[in-house]
A and B are shown apart, each in its own frame.
Chain A
Amino acid sequence: MLQWAFDTMLGFGLLWLAWRALNSSDLFKAIVLFIAFGLLMALAWVRLNAPDVALAEAAIGAGLTGALLLAALARLGAMTDQNVSGASAYPVPSAQPPAGSHFSRGLLILLLSASVAGMAYAIWSLPSYATGLSMDVAAHLDDSGVGNPVTAVLLNFRGYDTMLEMMVLLLAVLGVWSLGGLQQQPEKPVAAVLETLSRFLTPVFILAAAYLLWVGADAPGGAFQAGSVLGAAGVLLLLSGWRPRVRLMQWPLRLALTAGAGAFILLGLLTLLLEKQFLTYPVAQAGRMILLLESLATVSIAVTLAILFLSVSSGHKEKSGKGEKK
């Protein structure tokens, strides 16, 4: 009973936060509410027995997406000559839904309510008991090389999806780079406390990432979670004013960005040559291969996320080399 009450509250809380985030008049507030929404989502994942997803959501969905959104908002405020510092500095001219008669808005709401009802009916009509592929996964878990079923699916059973996933991340960086960067902004002085905080937390983050990567084989965790924690450490360092040396922004950066994708491609070619089967690991070696893939993927994910943040927040562009180490 108590559980039902909690789940119902959480469900309504999610809907309410989403509504407020999407419709509050102030963009800063909207983003903060969205971050809170992400944290509640993480709670929902825990309730749904999906700790791996909860970790990914907390680190990426709420953490890094939130950082990206706030950084973009700050840039936007600076660009459109608004007061950046104020919490209520983003009165949006079109905060209120634009144009459209009462009739068309009513029609839209009617349509949307109908679609919720339709989807609810469809979901309700699904069989109330189904195991999906869990039996298949359990049956082959021993051959996968890892003990955590989610990691087994991500890196082995459906490792091909993850390979394309690494390409999507790389594409995001290429896409952002191809926009050519924004105007560089003068760097603001950073609070001493923030520097201390990041200096203290960075090793902790690295430790946590290594731990997540290592336990990912048998417990919740893995490359995506570890990579996003490491990426968050990068974001924190960037926030506290740290800038990588120009030399690092050249091919060491490119190597780090492509490490995960490259590892997948090489392994794909190798397995195709040796096993005649794309991405099929020999059972005895599977554990080690997955760990290797995950380690390289972690580096790539972390660097990708940090570079995306840098591009959105400070107008970093490809090969700009303008940000020196302080």
Chain B
Amino acid sequence: MTAADYVTACLFILGGIFFFAGTAGLLRFPDVYTRLHALTKADNVGLGLIVAGLALQAESWLAAGKLLLIWLLVLFAGACVAHLVARRALRKGTRIWTE
């Protein structure tokens, strides 16, 4: 294993932890807004770390660029969808959790 492989492994593990935390938040948090928070925050960073790890293994700059593009797209779509879900919930009158 080269140094790049070790870095990739570390990034994957970190990313996995973020995904795990995000999923735990999705399942355990009390209302839709906090769940969205957990999901988008953790998944964006988690995916970013995984993409970074993969980019280190990429054969060419082009492949790394494609990976980066995927991450950017997911960031953008995730933010928009989270906003739409939250908006919908607010319009519908879902209460915000306060202890």
| Contact between A and B in the complex (any CB pair below 8 Å) | yes
Within 8 A of B (CB), among A193-216: 193-194, 196-197, 200-201, 204
Check A196–B73 contact: CB distance below 8 A. no
B10 CB to nearest chain A CB (Å): 19
Check B92–A86 contact: CB distance below 8 A. yes
One of A85, A193, A201 near B84 (C-beta < 8 A) = A193
Residue A120 at the chain B interface, CB threshold 8 Å: no
Residue A92 at the chain B interface, CB threshold 8 Å: no
B38 CB to nearest chain A CB (Å): 18
Q: Provide the main secondary structure of the chain B interface.
A: helix
Residues of chain A within 8 A of B91, CB atoms compared: 85
Q: How large is the interface on B (under 10, 10 to 19, 20 to 34, 35 or more residues)?
A: 10 to 19
Check A193–B80 contact: CB distance below 8 A. yes
Residues of chain B within 8 A of A204, CB atoms compared: 73
Whose C-beta in chain B lies nearest to the C-beta of A197? B80
Within 8 A of B (CB), among A150-209: 191, 193-194, 196-197, 200-201, 204
Within 8 A of A (CB), among B72-87: 73, 76-77, 80, 83-84, 87
Residues of chain A within 8 A of B80, CB atoms compared: 193-194, 196-197
Bound Cα distance from A200 to B73, whole angstroms: 10
Residue B88 at the chain A interface, CB threshold 8 Å: yes
Bound Cα distance from A82 to B80, whole angstroms: 28
Given contacts A85-B92, A86-B92, contact A197 B87 (CB under 8 A): no
Check B92–A191 contact: CB distance below 8 A. no
A243 CB to nearest chain B CB (Å): 20
Residues of chain A within 8 A of B88, CB atoms compared: 85
Bound Cα distance from A204 to B88, whole angstroms: 26
Bound Cα distance from A193 to B83, whole angstroms: 8
Bound Cα distance from A194 to B88, whole angstroms: 12
A80 CB to nearest chain B CB (Å): 19
Residues of chain A within 8 A of B92, CB atoms compared: 85-86
Bound Cα distance from A193 to B80, whole angstroms: 6
Whose C-beta in chain B lies nearest to the C-beta of A201? B77
One of A85, A191, A200 near B76 (C-beta < 8 A) = A200
Bound Cα distance from A204 to B84, whole angstroms: 20
Residues of chain A within 8 A of B77, CB atoms compared: 197, 201
Bound Cα distance from A201 to B77, whole angstroms: 9
Bound Cα distance from A193 to B76, whole angstroms: 11
Whose C-beta in chain B lies nearest to the C-beta of A198? B80
Bound Cα distance from A86 to B92, whole angstroms: 8
Bound Cα distance from A84 to B44, whole angstroms: 31
Bound Cα distance from A204 to B72, whole angstroms: 12
Residues of chain B within 8 A of A85, CB atoms compared: 88, 91-92
Bound Cα distance from A194 to B83, whole angstroms: 9
Bound Cα distance from A48 to B99, whole angstroms: 47
Within 8 A of B (CB), among A75-119: 85-86
Residues of chain A within 8 A of B83, CB atoms compared: 191, 193
Bound Cα distance from A194 to B73, whole angstroms: 15
Chain B interface (Cβ within 8 Å of chain A)?
73, 76-77, 80, 83-84, 87-88, 91-92
Can you report 12 A-B residue pairs in the complex whose CB atoms are below 8 A from each other? A85-B88, A85-B91, A86-B92, A191-B84, A193-B80, A193-B87, A194-B80, A194-B84, A197-B76, A197-B80, A201-B76, A204-B73
Top 5 A-B residue pairs of the complex, sorted by shortest distance between their CB atoms = A197-B80, A85-B92, A193-B83, A193-B80, A191-B84
Given contacts A191-B83, A197-B80, A200-B76, 13 further A-B contacts (CB under 8 A): A85-B91, A85-B92, A86-B92, A191-B84, A191-B87, A193-B83, A193-B87, A194-B80, A194-B84, A196-B80, A197-B76, A197-B77, A201-B76
